[in-house]
């Protein structure tokens, strides 16, 4: 005969057992990147030649997305048609931080013609840094304006960080100031993993601190040695798995391979794709 106490004890054990199994499964469950992209500047030299052959080769490595501010070929329409043909989807294009309204509209027009949804400003500052509190005030005000203009034109707006946003000023960090003093609905961030680490911060912590503010990750590795130079993803010291795991939990959908001053962009994209496509997180 099953007594009430035995029933409750058995039910509790079953619940605990189920919860334990669920925890184990969540630990064992591994994800991989569903989409893999790159920024066109990494093969800027190569694209000056037979750009169609170059892009076709890169697509064969398994890339599905491209971040580009350049127009190749006869028109935006023909360029987009070619990208669609080889399986590369244009995702984001650049806008100048100090652009006039007329210049912005030209940039928006190109971005829309390439059917991209994201506009990025890559240097969100009026000066070269290190930055002061006054620099931050001016930049935050401008970022809010750009965010509003992008929104009015049906685009998501992002600013891109470097290492100087993580150099302390009179009060805190420039990165924190920009995040705190820009409209979270209109101003998003394209987080460059390498530059965060180069500035002395922890990319995973920065991701967690501002959940919901990131749209794209720039995936760039750091070389071994005191100089902490640029490196192709998978060839350096950055542990991408926990970063991607957190990004995945935030539904960040775009991961763009990048490396500054790359000697061989094609080789870098090939090795990076082999590493990132097989990376479990």
User: Which of the pair, 132 or 10, is modelled with greater confidence?
Assistant: 132
> How confident is the model at residue 217, as a pLDDT?
98
Rounded CA separation 185/200 (Å) = 28
Average pLDDT, the chain: 92
Classify residue 228 as left (phi > 0), alpha (psi -120 to 50) or beta: left
Residue 56 has pLDDT above 90, yes or no: yes
Let me know if 205 is exposed, middle or buried by CB neighbors in 10 A (0-12, 13-18, 19+). exposed
> How confident is the model at residue 28, as a pLDDT?
56
Contact predicate 269/42, CB 8 Å: yes
pLDDT tens digit sequence for 149-178: 999 999 999 999 999 999 999 999 999 999
Place of tokens 């350096």: 236
Q: In the numeric block, which tokens belong to residue 203?
A: 């990319």
- DSSP code, position 164: G
pLDDT tens digit sequence for 205-259: 999 999 999 999 999 999 999 999 999 999 999 999 999 999 999 999 999 999 9
Residue 16 has pLDDT above 80, yes or no: no
Residue 54 has pLDDT above 50, yes or no: yes
Rounded CA separation 134/242 (Å) = 35
Domain boundaries, the chain: 1-30, 31-277
DSSP line for 80-126: HHHHHHHT-EEEEEE--TT--HHHHHHHHHHHHHTT--EEEES---S
Kindly report which listed range (2-6, 107-111, 124-128, 132-136) carries the lowest average pLDDT score.
2-6
Determine the average pLDDT of the residues in 136-158: 98
Kindly report which listed range (17-26, 41-50, 139-148, 175-184) carries the lowest average pLDDT score.
17-26
Residue 120 has pLDDT above 50, yes or no: yes
Residue 27 has pLDDT above 70, yes or no: no
Question: Quick one: pLDDT band at residue 29, thresholds 50, 70, 90?
Answer: low
Rounded CA separation 139/130 (Å) = 13
SS3 248: helix
Where do runs of H (alpha helix) occur along the chain? Answer: 4-28, 51-60, 76-86, 101-113, 133-152, 174-180, 193-198, 203-209, 240-249, 265-277
> How confident is the model at residue 70, as a pLDDT?
86
Residue 9 has pLDDT above 90, yes or no: no
> How confident is the model at residue 79, as a pLDDT?
98
- DSSP code, position 73: S
Rounded CA separation 86/88 (Å) = 6
- DSSP code, position 36: -
Query: In CATH terms, is domain 31-277 a member of 3.20.20.150?
Result: yes
Question: Quick one: pLDDT band at residue 20, thresholds 50, 70, 90?
Answer: very low
Residue 146 has pLDDT above 90, yes or no: yes
Give every CB contact of residue 155 below 8 A, 6+ residues apart in sequence.
Answer: 108, 111, 112, 116, 117, 118, 119
CA dihedral 103, 107, 109, 110 (to 10 degrees): 140
> How confident is the model at residue 205, as a pLDDT?
98
């Amino acid at each position: 005969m099953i007594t009430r106490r035995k029933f409750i004890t058995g039910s509790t054990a079953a619940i605990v057992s189920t919860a334990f199994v669920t925890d184990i499964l969540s630990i064992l469950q591994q994800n991989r990147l569903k989409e893999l992209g790159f920024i066109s500047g990494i093969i800027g030299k190569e694209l000056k030649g037979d750009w169609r052959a170059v892009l076709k080769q890169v697509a064969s490595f398994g890339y599905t997305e491209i971040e580009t501010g350049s127009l190749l070929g006869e028109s935006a329409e023909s360029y987009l048609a070619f990208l669609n043909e080889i399986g590369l989807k244009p995702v984001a294009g650049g806008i100048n931080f100090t652009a006039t309204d007329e210049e912005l509209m030209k940039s928006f027009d190109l971005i829309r013609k390439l059917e991209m949804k994201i506009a990025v400003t890559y240097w969100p500052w009026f000066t070269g840094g290190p930055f002061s509190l006054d620099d931050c005030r001016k930049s935050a005000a401008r970022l809010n304006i750009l965010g509003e203009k992008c929104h009015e034109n049906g685009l998501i707006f992002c600013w891109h960080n470097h290492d100087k946003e993580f150099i302390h000023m009179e009060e805190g960090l420039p990165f924190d100031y920009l995040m705190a003093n820009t409209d979270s609905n209109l101003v998003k961030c394209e987080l460059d993993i390498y530059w965060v680490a180069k500035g002395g911060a922890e990319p995973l912590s920065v991701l967690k601190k501002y959940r919901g503010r990131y749209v794209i990750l720039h995936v760039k590795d750091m070389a071994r040695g005191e100089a902490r130079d640029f490196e192709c993803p998978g060839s350096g010291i950055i542990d991408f798995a926990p970063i991607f795991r957190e990004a995945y939990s935030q539904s960040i959908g775009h991961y763009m391979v990048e490396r500054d001053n790359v000697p061989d962009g094609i080789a870098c994209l090939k090795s990076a794709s082999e590493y990132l496509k097989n990376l479990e997180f």
